[in-house]
Amino acid sequence: MPSYSPEAIRRNWERLVEDDDEPLLNRAAGALYPPGSTFKVVTAAAALENGVSMTDELPSPTVLDVPQTSADIRNFGGSSCGSDTLTLPEALEISCNTTFAGLGIKVGSEKLAAEAEKFGFNKPSPYQLPAATSVIPRKQDVPATAQSAIGQRDVRVSPLQMATVAATIANGGRRMGPYVAQEVVSDKGKVVKRFEGEDFGQVIPERVAGDLKDMMLQVVESGTGQDARIQGLQVAGKTGTAQHARGQAPHAWFIGFTSSGDRSIAVAVVVERGGDLGSEATGGHVAAPIARQVMEAYLRGGG
């Protein structure tokens, strides 16, 4: 049996604590990141609950001239969204920044934050293990609101929070709290205790959840999330590529859900600084394939 001196244990502990990669951090629940375009599903929910329909023609300029600032908002890579106007499903399918930033301005910061709070933002997580609180400021000026609507500025989320967003949509708008274990079993095989996630009720209308699901299905079928497709199944999702620090590669994101038979799964994937692809990474190219592999493994009975 190996033995270690107290001094060696202390040195190893200090090395772990001081490591810039933070190996002791539970990134799934305890780390916070800008969500990038995955947050657009929350912005879409706020729009649908505040007078925007699935068929409305929404402005989608190549550059959005944001009031009160000289910092305009552009689409990924400076590209056009292909048309001067798009419907909400069309804008989500190609992840048009200017459309969603404009929607954020139209809805306003307080209604945008209130919508996020329905999914669990700005409140301590009900998760039994230590978890970070995902945040979005309630009162922001117009430029900050526009940036928040596309998951940037001061919006910060845990991967667990974004998995909860996906799960709530998949669940028809009913939000359930995440939990660690399903049951405790004695050494004789008797179930001693069962656990269930806290039921927060119908947090968004079923109609809105249905519209969001339809849009997210289209994202995977023919939009930015095609690398998450699974043969023979309906996969819904949203990609994200989140800027987080000057001079550093963006984080690559994907959130989504699918089901097969009696097995259903919602996931959130974030690849810090784009992994090996760095600044060339996108959520659709890097995070979506990982999400697909996780969903496939679970549906095969591996989880």
- Burial profile 52-84: b = 16 or more Cβ within 10 angstroms, e = fewer: beeeeebbbbeebebeeeeeebebbeeeebeee
Say if 1 falls within a structural domain: no
Range of the domain at 60: 26-302
pLDDT at 108: 97
Per-residue pLDDT of 26-84, as tens digits, reads 889 999 999 999 999 999 999 999 999 999 999 999 999 999 988 899 998 788 999 99
Integer Cα distance of 52 and 245 in angstroms: 33
Phi/psi at 179 (5° precision): -145, 165
Residues marked active site are found at 37
SS (H, E, C) 125-170: CCCCCCCCCCECCCCCCHHHHHHHCCCCCCCEECHHHHHHHHHHHH
In this prediction, residues 234-260 reach a mean pLDDT of 94
Integer Cα distance of 11 and 17 in angstroms: 10
pLDDT at 204: 98
Say if 13 falls within a structural domain: no
pLDDT at 26: 86
Say if 20 falls within a structural domain: no
pLDDT at 285: 93
Per-residue pLDDT of 281-297, as tens digits, reads 789 999 999 999 999 99
Per cent of the chain over pLDDT 70 is 97
Mean pLDDT comparison of 22-31, 76-85, 127-136, highest-scoring range: 127-136
Say if 159 falls within a structural domain: yes
pLDDT at 277: 75
Tell me the two tokens of residue 182: 């399903």
Q: Is 198 left (phi over 0), alpha (psi -120 to 50) or beta?
A: beta
In contact, 8 and 129? CB cutoff 8 Å: no
Integer Cα distance of 176 and 167 in angstroms: 8
pTM: 0.91
pLDDT at 22: 78
CATH code for position 184: 3.40.710.10
The rounded mean pLDDT for the chain is 92
pLDDT at 23: 80
Say if 232 falls within a structural domain: yes
Count of other CB atoms within 10 angstroms of residue 13? 11
Say if 206 falls within a structural domain: yes
Residues 6+ apart with CB under 8 A from 2: none
pLDDT at 124 over 90: yes
Q: Into how many domains does the chain fold?
A: 1
pLDDT at 302: 53
Say if 285 falls within a structural domain: yes
Say if 14 falls within a structural domain: no
